[in-house]
Structure 1
Amino acid sequence: MNKKLAAALSGGAVLVVALSGCSSSSGGGDKGPDPKLVAWAKTVCDAVPAQDAKIKAANAAISTTAADTAEPETLQKTDSQAFQDMSDGYKAIAAAIGDAGAPPGVDGGAARQQEVVKNLNGLAASYADLKKQVDALNTKDQAKFASGLHDVAVQMTELEKKHKSGTEALKNLQQGEVKAAIAEQASCKKVASSAAPPAGSPEGSAKG
């Protein structure tokens, strides 16, 4: 049953990696990006690794229970905590980007920043809703539990659109010197290197 959930999780990790940009690129010329922009990027990037780890652990927890023959109560507890952690993770990243404010000296930066915050908060709310659904599942009735878990998996698949919107918003925020400033941050590089997809995977061509 949980295998459907595990299969539906693919978009989550990719979104956070989008914030790391392509660390090998530089867009600020020889002088490098504006120091104020570098400071902004540091504020954003320093908040990412801990939340990235939380989201990855939540993904792994659901995948792990998908691989065994866990009882419904165990599945419910694991999935509920995983959805809570994913919701908290996206909410925290949204808060970090929101608190950082618009990237200084960037045309349209405020609108791009607000779009990212809106998308990430939307994802956080969606995962919070999934947690409520999982918490309400009837673990005493195997058929009803399986049906309910299937419904959750379907909704997770539909969340893929929100993940794609979030990824596009993050990429849109990272234009020109913003990308160069983020590329300088060790914390964002760490996320990029730890989440690099295996060669030949669908995500492999998305990074770069």
Structure 2
Amino acid sequence: MSTTSAAAAATTRKPLRDVRGFWRILLAIIAPLPMLANGIYYLLSPTSGNAPFDESVAAAVAHGDRVSLLEWIQIPFVTLLIPATFAVVWVARRGAPRLTTAGALLALTGFCAGLGNLPGTVSLASLTVKEGLDVTTVGKLAKAMEENPIFLISGLLFIIGVTFGLLLLGLALWKSRVAPAWMGIALAVGGFTHPFMPTHVVAGVGLLVAAAGFAGASYALLRTSNQEFDLPPQ
């Protein structure tokens, strides 16, 4: 092909579609959903998060429909937590680069380890009741899983991600000034205090506070132009 023909083809090539607005709005929608879903889960749960297996089985027997509903409610948490964290990282990275980097490393490492290795939304206690399995046998399985080194390390990393990772990301959101200061503080406080809450109801309220903090990313994304959000297609 001659130089003239190549130039003509380049000028007539169909321009690439700009999808920056799609990703910006999608991240804004996703950001508060995981913590909102997990907060509702904790508020409605008939037992605490670390309840013994026998107690969880008893709750599944007494509140079968609610336990089944809660499994569905928790799906947005395990599915969208990582992209929601990316949303916070994306809006805070310019105004507070070092804080954001440190928070992202802790949070995303913990979330990838926890969501990738720990049990999912369907609990062994619920399956035991639904399928009529032997409680003693499944209880031994649950105990063995809890004491497995991979589960222990993944659980520890996940807690570090929730507490210290979200604490730093909340401070980064506050320092970057892309959202109201109270939203950054809500993210920092809601994440850091979660493991120390006395009851699952109070923990649920704390997670709703964290959801309000994640909404700070939504606030920033909706106020950001596509040009500020990312480079155009090329």
The TM tier, using the shorter chain, reads 0.3 to 0.5
Normalising by structure 1, we get a TM-score of 0.47
Q: Which has more helix, going by share of residues?
A: 2
Q: Rg larger in 1 or in 2?
A: 2
